[in-house]
Amino acid sequence: MGKLFGTDGIRGVVNAGLDATLAYQVGLAAAVVMAEEKGTDRPRIAIGKDTRISSDLLESALVAGLCSAGADVLHLGVVPTPAVAFLTVDSGADAGIVISASHNPFEHNGIKIFNSQGYKLRDALENKIEDIILSGCNVPLKTHGDLGRVVHMDEEVVRRYIDHLVSTVDADFDGMRVVVDCANGASSATAPGLFARFPKLHADIIHARPDGVNINNGCGSTHLEDLKAHVKAGGYDLGLAYDGDADRFLAVDENGEDIDGDQIMAACARMLKAEGALNGNAMVGTVMSNMGLHIFARENGMELFCTPVGDRNVLEKMLECDYVIGGEQSGHTIFRRYATTGDGELTSLQFLQVLFRSGKKASELVADCKRYPQVLINLPVASKEKKEEIMAAQALKDAIAAKEAEMNGSGRVLVRPSGTEALLRVMVEAQTHEAARRYAEELADVIKNL
């Protein structure tokens, strides 16, 4: 990846790394690159955003840059990230831009670009945009009637997205009771309307009152405690949790226990296999997929292919081999029949459908995809160069090898740099939580000393 674009676009704390000037430059450069890519003087770019207080600031700057370079803008407003991907294609736009930092705290934000097919922009085009910015953004500005225009899309676009989501399931969920946590994020604009389309489903919506600073704050898929309390107190069948931009979905079972992305994918893949719709009898995970998912796949006659972390990598493998389902333990799940990217609301409907058809309780549905105790420690690192130096250190390699030998096949170790934050991540799985914690802390100490 380059100096600006990481594994999931440009990220940073607003006005402390990511500011209006950079957003304006991204708009200029994106307009130039997409015009060249599409062979047009007037590309059409769709823009959506989440509920962060900084999203308006960055949106205004992006729009100014796009219009200055002659691009027309389709203004979508607050919508989930996967809605931007869908509406980019549905509206015939040449690209889509999302302003969001997903599950991160409100002071962070980001800029992510989709192509006209709804897939994340390929590296070569991101590199072109980055080169223009880093070389001083010396691009010709349009004047007179060549300036771009902004078209404010109405609520019809949200209805089109909800129509699409509803069309992916064939169940009325009669008698089910769920509580839906919108993380005070982008799904606040879509989830109430979506679940209202199923009148036989009792759905209570929580954390859907964004104020600009409460996104992901003690709620959503990264903070399940409040959702768990609601599920247990209200006797619900299931709790549904999205992150700030609603591309992730995690669940809570009837006992208030969390259901992670591995278990969600396992249950959905098993249903697809029973229907004869699981291409290659395979699903795609990542190196972070729990050992329990590997065992589940083996016991159910499925292949599990693991990629580096990142839904972009998962999707590339799915496209390469024509697989229909893939995802991450963190809650990104891709159903390639229906979406070009991870979609939390879509995944929640698919999982609800599997649960409804099974006639089981949620805890029973996922019981055979057990989770090995897993400990994850995040260690701040000063710079990308320092991350690379530590990862290359022989002392770290020796320590990892020693822990793997000690576990003798009953667990695993993964140390990797974050693609979106200044962190090194130490993950250990073992037969007991105590053992996983001990091994992880010992490896963390090695990294701290480096």
Write the single-letter amino acid at 316: E
Rounded Cα distance between 42 and 201, Å, is 45
Per-residue tokens: 37: 């890519």
Q: Is 313 helix (H, G, I), strand (E, B) or coil?
A: helix
Q: 19: which residues sit within 8 A by CB, 6+ positions away?
A: none
**Which of 39, 84, 85, 37 is closest to 336 using CA atoms?**
85
Active site residue 102: yes
Is-contact 265 323, C-beta < 8 A? no
The end-to-end CA distance of the chain, in Å, is 24
Is-contact 96 45, C-beta < 8 A? yes
Q: Which of 102, 116, 330, 348 is catalytic?
A: 102
Q: Give φ, ψ of 392 to 5 degrees.
A: -85, -5
Neighbouring-strand partners of residue 307: 286
Is-contact 143 168, C-beta < 8 A? no
Q: Which residues of 296-322 are buried (b: 16+ CB within 10 A; e: fewer)?
A: bbeeeebebbbbebbbbbbbbbbeeee
Q: Give φ, ψ of 175 to 5 degrees.
A: 90, -10
DSSP states of 256-312: S-EE-HHHHHHHHHHHHHHTT-SGGGEEEEETTS-HHHHHHHHHTT-EEEEESSSHH
Is-contact 82 50, C-beta < 8 A? no
Q: Which long-range contacts (CB under 8 A, 24 or more apart) does 227-234 make?
A: 227/179, 227/181, 227/252, 228/252, 228/256, 228/257, 228/258, 229/256, 230/179, 230/181, 230/204, 230/206, 231/179, 231/256, 232/256, 234/177, 234/179, 234/204
Write the single-letter amino acid at 274: A
Q: 284: which residues sit within 8 A by CB, 6+ positions away?
A: 304, 305, 306, 307, 314, 317, 318, 323, 325, 326, 327
**Which of 348, 332, 350 is closest to 248 using CA atoms?**
332
Active site residues: 102
